[in-house]
Structure 1
């Protein structure tokens, strides 16, 4: 009996020791994503566990605070749908992470699919240099797919953009030790992270923004402000308010030149971010954006020709109409291109952000159009009055004679 008690106590102590070296986290978002880490006391191996719902199509955890530069482990069902494929990938920003064949992954026991939950227990033999094993607040990221079914043994299988994601931190000091060939499966075959005995050293944190993220946001804000608000305002000064403002032309030219500089700055920010992520000119939005900014220089030249001719003759010339209609066309196309940039393949803006952008853009276009039509109607009535005046005078003279 004493021997049995000692054996049970020893087994419980061993299990507790092993469980005590696993630091884990479960996300509150979609996909039921859970992640756990164990760092052996010696060697270069690191053990990971990733869990998530098969309804997501794929789930992932990454080593880092943002996609760009993070080593990401993507997990999805294998070809027979009974086990999983673990794909180590390098995050390159807001695009699909790229498979890294140099990362040495070994799938361990306890992995598989049960009850609609994917479990991947695996060892990485050359990942430790990406972790600060003495950190009590190591940054990680997680993500869950949009539900697109994947069953593949190919670690470079294409995945669609995540529907949910977030950040968390783990205490790797508490996760260090308990040297074993599989810290996620006990001698009985049970998964420690399925019990209440495991050490949970994880905490959910607000997603920190990288420099590239901040520059990308600045790019979007500057371009939206420039194209949706400021360029139409500059056009309104000379086209709609010239009769009400004594210096309308000076205000028009000054503001539009300032807007051109803002557009160049905004474009440069977008190009810098694309270069950092390795996504230079891989989307229509980027090509078209550069073309639109280039057209601003043509527009400025047409404006100068129009102004010079108007000062000489006091009348509009073909340069005038080319300048006016090219300006309107470029602004509308740029507003549309901005909406494209907010889409899921680029900025992946929320539905609220897209709705706000759309409402403001529509209000600006409708307001400008309404003022333009009212102005044209006023000019038409003025022309009719002028033409009717001589006719009335001629008619009066005839009656007198």
Structure 2
């Protein structure tokens, strides 16, 4: 009996010694971001109660987050960011998987001593009173293989004390497992009060990670899809009336079609990397546009056959043209949704909007020219009728014919002429009819020569 008592006491002492010397488990997904978790003995034995968390990263990060579970959807998350007053804001949130995690006021999360934003570091020591279970699931506080996730975003500090402040989509994320039996501590108190960090040998077990940075994937997806939807597809549409041949148009659009699917594949991979579900506006709308675009090559082939047979456009031709125009517009709009989702800087928004506007003007001008040429070719002047001139020109009427001289009264004219008074210059016409002859001045009278002596 005594030996049994000593054995039990020895085991208890060893166990207590292990618990007393245990330290928080730690995992650092990058060189400068680390997460620690500690579970008090009382919480581990009852699978309920307090657990302690520490999140630390450089101040160059806009926010960092730790969560329980295997994916963001339904995860119990703890987000920290600078509050603008030398400390951090601890924000408990519920992961939704396709949108910004929602603030969850039901989580009993408390910021503890030792938390600060100083010397280029951001540190948050926290205590959670009910993290064994939440609306999206539960977790064993004494489990030897509990699942954890993390995410982070580089950029400007949020500087907000609001626990529900908006955050942009993360740049990268990680997942791993913690053996909480190795992170059990004896005291239900802040194990990070002195700024102590866990032993580097006491780390979590990392899950699989993609060697490619998700930010590179997201940027590649955005650039490739923007080039296809904003530049290549509109230019390919303008090639047809420019060259007047279907071959350059079909070749150009086929290459653009392949690039579209390549960009879509990169988008799917990047969304999986950042655990973005296909239920967001950008992803669901983009998937629909890409799938609908698969009908366009078939419509183009049917349009070509109809035109060859009839040498004119028909209903299938207009369906191909307008269906493509509608998809291009939707693709450009979805690109804007993607920029908003990624939270890109103002420079990217301006650049995208400018290029899209220029291409719209170019394509719009080509569209107007096409309509003009179509109307010009189809114009037929109306037939000319004799009645068209009525009211437009004056009616011509021949002038009245003059009388012939033979028809005049020649006798009276001659008599009148004979009775006319002859006017003589230098005479009074009134005295022309009197009997007294008129005095006529002699203009031919020669003057007498002056006497010869008058010159002396």
- The TM tier, using the shorter chain, reads 0.5 to 0.7
- Is residue 25–residue 201 contact of structure 1 (8 Å, CA) maintained in 2? yes
Q: Which has the higher helix share?
A: 1
Report what 2:188 is aligned to. 180
TM-superposed CA distance for 1:59, in Å, is: 1.5
Q: Taking structure 1 as the reference length, what is the TM-score of the superposition?
A: 0.55
Other structure's SS at 1:192 match: coil
Name the residue aligned to 2:169: 161
Q: Is the 8 A contact 1:38 1:177 kept in 2?
A: yes
- Equivalent residue number for residue 154 of structure 2: 146
Post-superposition CA distance 1:113-147 (Å, at most 9, x none): 33221221111111113323343332222222222
Matches within 5 A, 1:356-395: none
Tell me the SS of whatever aligns to 1:173.
Answer: helix
Distance 1:122 1:161 in 2: 23
Contact 2:26 2:202 in 1 (8 A): yes
Cα distance in structure 2, aligned partners of 1:337 and 1:137: 44
CA distance in 2, matches of 1:18, 1:296: 64
| Partner-residue secondary structure (3-state), 2:184 | coil
Q: Does 1:88 align with 2:92?
A: yes
Alignment of 1:260-339 (within 5 A): 282-283=281-282, 286-287=284-285, 290=288, 313=310, 315-319=311-315, 321-326=317-322, 328-329=324-325, 332=328
- What is the CA-CA distance between 1:33 and the residue it aligns to? 1.6
Which secondary structure state, in structure 2, belongs to the residue aligned with residue 181 of structure 1?
coil
Residues paired across the two proteins, number:
293
Rate the CA distance shift 1:207–1:298 in 2: closer, same or farther, 3 A.
closer
Shift of 1:168: 2.6
Q: Residues 84 and 172 from structure 1, CA distance in 2 versus in 1: closer, same or farther, beyond 3 angstroms? A: same
Structure 1 partner of 2:128: 124
Contact 1:99 1:155 survives alignment (8 Å): yes
- Say yes or no: does 1:34 pair with 2:34: yes
Aligned-residue CA RMSD in angstroms?
Answer: 5.3
Task: Provide the secondary structure at the position in 1 that maps to 2:182.
Answer: coil
Which is higher, the Rg of structure 1 or of structure 2? Answer: 2
Indicate the residue corresponding to 2:74 in structure 1: 69
Match of 1:55? 60
Q: Is the 8 A contact 1:144 1:163 kept in 2?
A: yes
Q: Secondary structure at 1:24's aligned position in 2?
A: strand
1:133 to 1:17, Cα distance in 2 relative to 1, 3 A: closer
Unpaired runs of 5+ residues, structure 2, are 1-14, 211-217, 230-235, 249-260, 345-456
> Using the alignment, how far apart are the partners of 1:200 and 1:100 within structure 2?
31
Find the aligned partners of 2:102 and 2:37 in 1 and give their Cα distance.
Answer: 23
Kindly tell me: are residues 277 and 288 of structure 1, through their superposed partners in 2, closer, same or farther at Cα, counting changes over 3 Å?
closer
Which whole-Å CA distance do the structure 2 matches of 1:346 and 1:152 have between them? 21
8 Å Cα contact 1:289/1:334 also seen in 2: no
1:100 is the counterpart of 2:104: yes
CA distance in 1, matches of 2:40, 2:205: 22
For 1:331 and 1:292, the matched residues in 2 are separated by 9
- Per the alignment, residue 170 of structure 1 pairs with 178
CA distance in 2, matches of 1:278, 1:143: 16
Q: Do the aligned partners of 1:68 and 1:93 also contact (CA within 8 Å) in 2?
A: yes
Q: Is the 8 A contact 1:24 1:200 kept in 2?
A: yes
Query: What's the CA shift for 1:67?
Result: 1.6
Deviation at residue 153 of structure 1 after TM alignment: 1.5
Cα deviation per residue 1:216-272 (whole Å; 9 max; x = unaligned)?
x9xx9xxx9xx99xxx9xxx9x9549xxxxxxxxxxxxxxxxxxxx9xxx9xx9xxx
Aligned to 2:202: 200
State whether residues 19 and 192 of structure 1, in contact with CA within 8 Å, keep that contact through their aligned partners in structure 2: no
1:323 positional shift = 3.6
Aligned to 1:259: none
Residue 298 of structure 1: how far off its partner (Å): 10
Task: Give the Å deviation of 1:154.
Answer: 0.8
Instruction: Report the Cα offset of residue 15 of structure 1.
Output: 10
1:49 Cα deviation after fit: 1.1
On the 8 A contact 1:22/1:198 being kept in 2, the answer is no
